[in-house]
Structure 1
Amino acid sequence: MTEKLTLTSPADLRAYVPHLLGGTPTESFVVLTATAGALGATLRVDAPMDAAPLGFAQTVTSLAAQDENATACYLIVYTDETSTDARFPYAAHVAALGNELATARMPVRKVYLVTSTHWAAYGSTERNPLEQITDSNANATLTFMGSAAAVDVYNPALLGKWVEPVQVPVRTEESVEEARREWGTALDADGMPDHETARKLAAWFQDKYIRDFLMADTITTNNGVILDIILGKFNGRPDWKRVDHAETIAFELMKAVPEGQRAPMLTLMGWLQWLKGSGKHAARYLKLAVEDVHGYQFAEQLYDLISSVYIAEVAKNQETAYKRPTS
């Protein structure tokens, strides 16, 4: 978003987060860095559950500190966990994180709690209705600008149930080049591939060697090393509009094949969401991939990477990170 947005209330800050992350977090800690009256990076990690408070706090702080310009931050705890006191869920973790962030010279200005029924300043007895967030000036402004707080191209109701499986093609130098050429053409086109082309592309995605090349080719700027590309290490800013289009195409390919052959496309969608900085949506797609093909190794490996709070290199840099589009 290139327009300047002024946040004037706690509800505005709460409303801003779903637009940045592509949906309202659940069971999460969200850290928003700040400097000179402006917000910087946004970091979402899963709620710590059984993690040791100090180790959790140190990990989150090391990630937040990658915003080298930050001089302060805000913390929002999204949870329905109550423990012994509903006002202080994950109290030890919040305290440890506050200490670590202060030591890193980016002290926490405010801590807020958001549940499925209300929001409040952390530790207070107040119960503010969630409607204050949806009715806030920031939410209205962002919606008017064309931002959507929840963007999800995956709709299982649209997936066919009586579709013939595709045959995995024989891998040759020529077939790899043809697959990459067809995938590039689909990414550069405005619309969706026809049914025959969708099935052909879906068949190529079944081959893990070709799949990796197609995933790498989705990114317009890279150093040519597939492992680096998978880890989000690029030479410049990707064409994020092309990435959005790739995710939509991936779902179109899923409609052209039966269950048991959708895992590669679900993994692509999860990977693209991770590159955008949305671990929540990434994890969802990767779990669906493993459900589609039990033990689908690539999806399991990416899920383990995300679960260890590893953030894609491209998402750490404000110059290269995904900016949610406006229409």
Structure 2
Amino acid sequence: MNENQPIKVTATADILAYVPRTLGFQPRESLAIVTLRGTQLALTLRVDLPAESADPVDFAQAVMHYVLADAAADGALMFVYTKEVAEGAKTGTNHFAKPYMAHAQAIETEMERAGLDLRGGWLINTLGWMPFFCEEEGCCILQQHEEIRDSALNAHMVLAGYTLNDDASRSVIDPAFTGSDTAHTKIEEGAYWLNLLDPLDFTDPSISQGRAAWTTALGTVEDSITEDEACELVTYLRNRAIRDRLLADAVDATNDQETYMQILAGRYESTPDWSRVEATQNLLAKILPYTPTEDRAPLFAFLGWLSWQQGSSSIAYAYFEKALGIEPQYRLARLMKELVSRGGLPLAAMNQRTSYGEHKRKNQH
């Protein structure tokens, strides 16, 4: 595909295929919003559906915290994924009744107040899909999921490498441990010699050594890796100062302190080195099989942080939960899980020009 050719949506089934492919998993009991900039698709956002008893206005305002992150948006599309059935539809008193209608209407109202146009909404359940706000027999017809699967855009995104898992947790890589009984000891002994470091002293020998080891490993990411090499790389992640420097290096390896702090805070406005981000994800995937379960929290937190940089909040959240399942007090995972829960996104993900989605679009073939 030509790098300047945008994804074309010509039918409703196309846009319904676009959402899960962009998220990387099939949403369940979820509200998804795709922001629009004119006729251009921009950010894809997903949140859990609330309890039916949840206040619609409170929920709508929480959703708008995500939507308004796209300052360039002038419209949006809404998708409600649920197996719930509205009471009126259950009893037959209102065949057009939709679950979460009050919540959807509250979101529409909040969007109008923000100057955004809600240009469409759809209900997707286990049987099929239909327009969400329809109130006439002719348009409230349940369409089959096969139309989405067979859509031209779905075929295009499959060929372009957009994977699709059953849910966010299935997008989390967690391979079985295949290392030796001494792997944990190797990691522990290596970390013992890494003392408290000044996180801003990038010339410190330990920080320099850790960065060099990871940069070398990234350069051979297509090759095999040994257990000793994997354990050494994990060892550096056990030190907070080195770990944070490696997080920032994945985005921009500059030694400028201000840029370093901006990256960690999600305030980096330039385009991240997306190729290095992908290479780092691939390297972490290669390291995991040699890493005992009790030592995996830093790796899961790293993968979650990279997913967050890419704008994949649901996958990031799943990784942070995975890290906390191993170390409940792992600070990076706790802080990032809270940030993701509040809808926080890095600036690079909120700008179409610098986003990971734009990188993928330009590198499709």
Deviation at 1:174, TM superposition (A): 1.9
Gaps of 5+ in 1: none
1:185-210 deviation per Cα after TM superposition (whole angstroms, max 9, x unaligned): 22233425433211101111122222
**8 Å contact 2:175–2:288 — kept in the other structure?**
no
Query: In the alignment, does 2:108 pair up with 1:104?
Result: no
Which position in structure 1 is the counterpart of 2:85?
82
Residues 154 and 95 of structure 1: CA distance in aligned 2, closer, same or farther (over 3 Å) = closer
**8 Å contact 1:247–1:269 — kept in the other structure?**
yes
Q: Distance in 1 between matches of 2:15 and 2:239?
A: 44
* Secondary structure of residue in 1 paired with 2:116: coil
Deviation at 1:71, TM superposition (A): 2.9
**8 Å contact 1:153–1:248 — kept in the other structure?**
no
Sequence identity of aligned pairs in percent?
A: 28
Larger radius of gyration: 2
Residues 127 and 244 of structure 1: CA distance in aligned 2, closer, same or farther (over 3 Å) = same
1:170 corresponds to which of 171, 189, 193: 193
Segment drifting more, 45-54 vs 143-152: 143-152
TM-score, normalising length from structure 1?
0.89
Listed as ranges, the matches of 1:201-280 within 5 Å are 201-220=233-252, 224-225=257-258, 226-280=260-314
Deviation at 1:321, TM superposition (A): 0.9
TM-score, normalising length from structure 2?
0.81
Q: Distance in 2 between matches of 1:313 and 1:37?
A: 22
1:181 corresponds to which of 212, 216, 220: 212
Q: Distance in 2 between matches of 1:258 and 1:110?
A: 48
**8 Å contact 2:177–2:293 — kept in the other structure?**
no
1:91 corresponds to which of 101, 116, 120: 101
Which position in structure 1 is the counterpart of 2:352?
318
Q: Distance in 2 between matches of 1:169 and 1:101?
A: 53
Which position in structure 1 is the counterpart of 2:30?
28
1:242-279 deviation per Cα after TM superposition (whole angstroms, max 9, x unaligned): 11111121122222221110000000001111111111
**8 Å contact 1:160–1:255 — kept in the other structure?**
yes
Segment drifting more, 186-195 vs 274-283: 186-195
**8 Å contact 1:57–1:93 — kept in the other structure?**
yes
Query: In the alignment, does 2:222 pair up with 1:191?
Result: yes
1:75-116 deviation per Cα after TM superposition (whole angstroms, max 9, x unaligned): 111222335356422222101100111222222111101224
Residues 112 and 253 of structure 1: CA distance in aligned 2, closer, same or farther (over 3 Å) = same
Q: Distance in 2 between matches of 1:13 and 1:236?
A: 29
Deviation at 1:59, TM superposition (A): 3.3
**Aligned residue pairs, count:** 327
Residues 97 and 217 of structure 1: CA distance in aligned 2, closer, same or farther (over 3 Å) = same
* Secondary structure of residue in 2 paired with 1:264: helix
Segment drifting more, 183-192 vs 294-303: 183-192
Deviation at 1:128, TM superposition (A): 1.9
Give the aligned residue type for 1:217: D
Deviation at 1:155, TM superposition (A): 4.2
**8 Å contact 2:69–2:350 — kept in the other structure?**
yes
Which position in structure 1 is the counterpart of 2:10?
8
1:224-246 deviation per Cα after TM superposition (whole angstroms, max 9, x unaligned): 35553223221410111211111
* Secondary structure of residue in 1 paired with 2:99: coil
1:94-147 deviation per Cα after TM superposition (whole angstroms, max 9, x unaligned): 011001112222221111012244222115553222121111111112223343
Give the aligned residue type for 2:327: V
Which position in structure 2 is the counterpart of 1:39?
41
**8 Å contact 1:76–1:113 — kept in the other structure?**
yes
Deviation at 1:315, TM superposition (A): 0.7
Q: Distance in 1 between matches of 2:57 and 2:171?
A: 38
Q: Distance in 2 between matches of 1:129 and 1:253?
A: 42
* Secondary structure of residue in 2 paired with 1:93: helix
2:145 corresponds to which of 107, 130, 134: 130
Give the aligned residue type for 1:304: E
Residues 153 and 243 of structure 1: CA distance in aligned 2, closer, same or farther (over 3 Å) = farther
